[in-house]
A and B are shown apart, each in its own frame.
Chain A
Amino acid sequence: MALTEIDSKAREIILTIQEYSISTWRAVSNLFRPPIYWNDMLIQADVIGVGSTTIVILVGFFTGGVLAIQSMATLSAFGATAITGRFVSLSMVRELGPVLTGVMVSGRNASSIASELGSMVVTEQIDAMRALGVDPLRKLVLPRIVACVVMLFFLTIVADSFGTAGGAAVSIFMNGQNSTQYFSSAYESLVFSDILQGLVKPLFFGFIIASIGCFYGLRTTGGTQGVGRSTIQAVVTSSVLIIVADFLISQIMVALFIK
């Protein structure tokens, strides 16, 4: 009994993944065939990118500050507070910048994408769009994916910078560290592989956020309640996938660069 249940659950998951892959691939393959709705991409870039800047700045700044506080306590035990800057910038650039930005934007935008498209499904606006000869994958999905990938890249850089600044604020103003020392240790420690890792991650995370948001939005059934369900599924799935992808990318990067 339990086995057949597991069996049908597994089948459902595999079917969902298959459906997701097919529709996402159909959306992305449109990138190379006109018409491409550039205007919608710009609008989405504004909604996703500019709209998220404030929270990303705040989260980045305070995370950097926390990192400095915590590391300072530990590092001072070894008399190594001089490398606080290095600790903060490495943590931000490699891990926390991309992941926190991803999770914040996922909470903000995977949900809004899923609920927007979900409402359009239940009010037949998606069908109306198809009936008017416009492909929702081109008009709605692709612009969101492109905008999200591009904007998450820049938002991550913003988060990294403000994180380093937050760490600096704590080290310099609260702990009286020398600012030159902080910043030189922060910058000198960053090597190519760290930066590459930190900038590759948001590309994947942005893709996950938008494609999962669209996917759950477009398969909404069951009225307004269904929209709520899709929204939750989109946020949960994209956040988990971001963490999983982070693990995989880190693993691959470490294997590639640290031999």
Chain B
Amino acid sequence: MKQSNSILDDRTTPVAKSASDSAPVVFHNVSIRFYGPPVLKDVSFTLGAHETKIVLGPAGVGKSVLLKLTNGLLKPRRGHVDLFGQNLSELTEDQLFPLRKRTGMVFQEGALFDSLSIRDNVAYQLHVENIPDEEIERRVREALRFVELEHTIDFFPGSLSGGMRRRVAIARAIITQPDLLLYDSPTGGLDPVTSNTIIELVVKERDVYHTPALLVTHRLQDAFTLTSHRYDQELGHMVPLPKGETDPNTSFLMLNEGRVLFDGALDDLLRSEDPFVREFLS
């Protein structure tokens, strides 16, 4: 993470972004079910303009479903989701694509295109937009440098490790400088060192580009790292905040049995009396 990041130059500055200071994501009483019992019931929450919300909950509670509802990959059965101020339920699939382009998504299993090289995977969105080849090459290398995987540019996803694939997925999600990031368990099943590298990337996205984000994680450790660190651009890595301080833009959403159990800041989460929250945190 030593190289300077000229991605920064391409990005809309935080100031410009806050021009539309409305919440990028709002869930209004969203319920969804598949074949069995409902997966999400009456879920409502708001993601603020520069907020990073950490979504916690037991396996199978519907965290991935929640992310897919956010960019309209799934449709709620009841209630609706507003993305960038537009009600997704009122849009056709065709009208959803422009909104999805403004959103970067990291899938739980990476979901890289296994028949394409790392270069073409990361460049996917740029390729379909007919951007000149030299510029694509430059931006792909930049994005891969961001995740420290520039040397894998000619590899295929099959020859990368799980953690590398996850980082390529992050590079693919951030290359277009999205206005919203959705991370689905970016550290799932990885060792602590690799997890930390990935969390550092997330912190960097949050503190350098101020991109709002929803982040699903199983590892409480990651959640605490996210709230207790900031990215130092001079030093080029993340540093702990002074003791007792937490990042004001990072909040928590805890789900259990399809419902929102908790939505708020870390301090309140730690003070919560709810037996499930206590058990989850212990």
Interface residues of A (CB under 8 A from B): 26, 35, 37, 120, 123-125, 127-135, 139
The answer on a CB contact under 8 Å between B111 and A125 is: yes
The answer on a CB contact under 8 Å between A128 and B111 is: yes
Whole-angstrom distance between the alpha carbons of A76 and B202 in the complex? 83
Show 27 A/B contacts (Cβ-Cβ < 8 Å), sorted by A. A26-B93, A35-B128, A35-B130, A120-B113, A123-B109, A124-B107, A124-B109, A125-B112, A125-B113, A127-B73, A127-B107, A128-B105, A131-B71, A131-B103, A131-B107, A132-B100, A132-B101, A132-B124, A132-B172, A133-B100, A133-B101, A133-B125, A134-B97, A134-B125, A134-B128, A135-B93, A135-B97
The answer on a CB contact under 8 Å between A131 and B100 is: yes
Whole-angstrom distance between the alpha carbons of A130 and B125 in the complex? 11
The answer on a CB contact under 8 Å between A131 and B109 is: no
Chain A hits for B172, CB < 8 A: 132
Whole-angstrom distance between the alpha carbons of A129 and B100 in the complex? 10
Q: Say yes or no for B68: interface residue by CB 8 A criterion.
A: yes
> With A124-B111, A139-B128 in contact, do A131 and B94 touch (Cβ < 8 Å)?
no
The answer on a CB contact under 8 Å between B97 and A133 is: yes
B108, chain A: closest CB distance, angstroms: 8
Whole-angstrom distance between the alpha carbons of A133 and B94 in the complex? 9
> With A128-B107, A132-B124 in contact, do A123 and B114 touch (Cβ < 8 Å)?
yes
6 closest cross-chain pairs (CB), A and B:
A133-B101, A128-B111, A124-B111, A131-B105, A133-B100, A133-B97
Bitwise interface map of B from 68 to 81 toward A, beta carbon under 8 Å scored 1, else 0: 10010100000000
Partner of B125, one of A37, A120, A123, A132: A132
Whole-angstrom distance between the alpha carbons of A37 and B113 in the complex? 17
The answer on a CB contact under 8 Å between A125 and B73 is: no
Nearest-neighbor residue (CB-CB) of A135 within chain B: B97
Chain A hits for B132, CB < 8 A: none
Q: Say yes or no for B98: interface residue by CB 8 A criterion.
A: yes
Chain B hits for A125, CB < 8 A: 111-114
A131, chain B: closest CB distance, angstroms: 4
Chain B hits for A131, CB < 8 A: 71, 73, 100, 103, 105, 107
Nearest-neighbor residue (CB-CB) of B105 within chain A: A131
A30, chain B: closest CB distance, angstroms: 9
Bitwise interface map of B from 126 to 143 toward A, beta carbon under 8 Å scored 1, else 0: 001010000000000000
Chain A hits for B97, CB < 8 A: 130, 133-135
B88, chain A: closest CB distance, angstroms: 13
The answer on a CB contact under 8 Å between A133 and B98 is: yes
B116, chain A: closest CB distance, angstroms: 10
Nearest-neighbor residue (CB-CB) of A33 within chain B: B94
A116, chain B: closest CB distance, angstroms: 8
Nearest-neighbor residue (CB-CB) of A119 within chain B: B114
Q: Which of A35, A120, A124 has the most CB of B within 10 A?
A: A124
The answer on a CB contact under 8 Å between B73 and A130 is: yes
Nearest-neighbor residue (CB-CB) of A126 within chain B: B111
Whole-angstrom distance between the alpha carbons of A28 and B172 in the complex? 29
Other than the given A129-B113, A130-B100, A132-B125, 17 more pairs (CB < 8 A) read A35-B130, A124-B107, A124-B108, A124-B109, A125-B111, A125-B113, A127-B73, A128-B112, A129-B124, A130-B73, A131-B73, A132-B105, A132-B124, A132-B172, A133-B100, A133-B125, A135-B93
Nearest-neighbor residue (CB-CB) of A123 within chain B: B111
B267, chain A: closest CB distance, angstroms: 33
Chain A hits for B114, CB < 8 A: 123, 125
Chain B hits for A134, CB < 8 A: 97, 124-125, 128
Whole-angstrom distance between the alpha carbons of A129 and B93 in the complex? 13
Nearest-neighbor residue (CB-CB) of B128 within chain A: A134
Chain B hits for A26, CB < 8 A: 93
Nearest-neighbor residue (CB-CB) of B99 within chain A: A133
A44, chain B: closest CB distance, angstroms: 13
Q: Which of B108, B111, B114 has the most CB of A within 10 A?
A: B111
The answer on a CB contact under 8 Å between B68 and A127 is: yes
The answer on a CB contact under 8 Å between B111 and A127 is: yes
Q: Which of A124, A127, A131, A135 has the most CB of B within 10 A?
A: A131
Chain A hits for B98, CB < 8 A: 133
Whole-angstrom distance between the alpha carbons of A128 and B71 in the complex? 11
Chain A hits for B68, CB < 8 A: 127
Nearest-neighbor residue (CB-CB) of A133 within chain B: B101
The answer on a CB contact under 8 Å between B125 and A128 is: no
Chain A hits for B93, CB < 8 A: 26, 135
Chain A hits for B73, CB < 8 A: 127, 130-131
Partner of A128, one of B94, B101, B113, B130: B113
Nearest-neighbor residue (CB-CB) of B182 within chain A: A131
